[in-house]
A = this chain, B = another copy of it.
Amino acid sequence: MANPGTTTPRERYRAQVRAEIKELAWEQIATAGASALSLNAIAKRMGVSGPALYRYYAGRDELITELVTDAYRSLADAVHTAAEPGPDVAVLAHAMRAWALDDPHRYFLIYGTPVPGYHAPDDVTTIASEIMATLLDAWCATPFRGPATPLDAHLDDHRQWAGDHLASPATLHRALILWTRLHGVLSLELAGHFSGMGFDPALLYTTELESLLADAGDPPADGR
């Protein structure tokens, strides 16, 4: 019987093969799209028979689910790392952009067209909240002034997505629009909708970011 907390050679081997499968899966997604993901094709690229992969994944769905979870996890890691030196919205925003540009297919697996019939596992909503919490932390450290809107009040009544975070309604609002505005630029850029237009998407992105920070004023104003 193996000691708990120790990894046997077999366990290490399994982990390694699973990782290799996922790596090839990403390659395949990059060249043919997520919907074309095929276990048989991955097996072929590994020089192994198709059924062999069933030792490592129960089926295609389990593999996809793990890819989605990994994608979320990597975004959360990127955001956490960016927040480590201290909460700074601009740093987070640029980390998010870098993460997206680093692998557009990974981005689209999360934020792209939903796969019909596929339902994300619960893990990912947990991870999504983590990311949101980091964003909220950063905004709480960023003073601002600006008019209160009906949306602020509405968000104060519907704040379960913020978990037990004590952010003010205005901060909830800002976290939300940071999220939507940056994704607005990113998703259009990555889908190629700017490619024929000639301007620099990076400049649009930073301008959007700066316009969000421009309202920053003196009053700390925020609980937390």
A85 interface contact, C-beta 8 A = no
Proximity bits, A183-202, B CB within 8 Å = 1, else 0 = 11101100111001111100
Find out whether the CB atom of B204 lies under 8 angstroms from the CB atom of A176: yes
Asked whether A161 and B196 contact (CB < 8 A) given A149-B207, A150-B207, A176-B204, the answer is: yes
A contacts with B: majority SS: helix
Task: Output the least CB separation between A194 and chain B (Å).
Answer: 8
List CB contacts (< 8 Å) of A32-62 with chain B: 32-36
Set of chain B residues within 8 Å of A34, measured between Cβ atoms: 113
A residues 193-217 near B (Cβ < 8 Å) are 193, 196-200, 203-204, 207-208, 210-211
In the complex, A193 Cα to B199 Cα: how many Å?
A: 29
CB of A165 within 8 Å of the partner chain: no
Q: Is A108 interfacial (CB-CB < 8 Å)?
A: yes
Count of interface residues, chain A, beta-carbon cutoff 8 Å: 52
Q: Min CB distance, A65 to chain B, in Å?
A: 16
- The CA-CA distance from A204 to B158 in the complex, in Å, is 12
Cβ-neighbour of A203 out of B35, B151, B191, B196 (below 8 A) = B151
Which residues of A are in contact with B by a Cβ distance under 8 Å? 30-36, 108, 111-117, 125, 128, 149-151, 154-155, 158-161, 173, 176-177, 179-185, 187-188, 191-193, 196-200, 203-204, 207-208, 210-211
The 6 closest A-B pairs by CB, nearest first: A184-B184, A112-B113, A161-B197, A35-B35, A180-B184, A158-B198
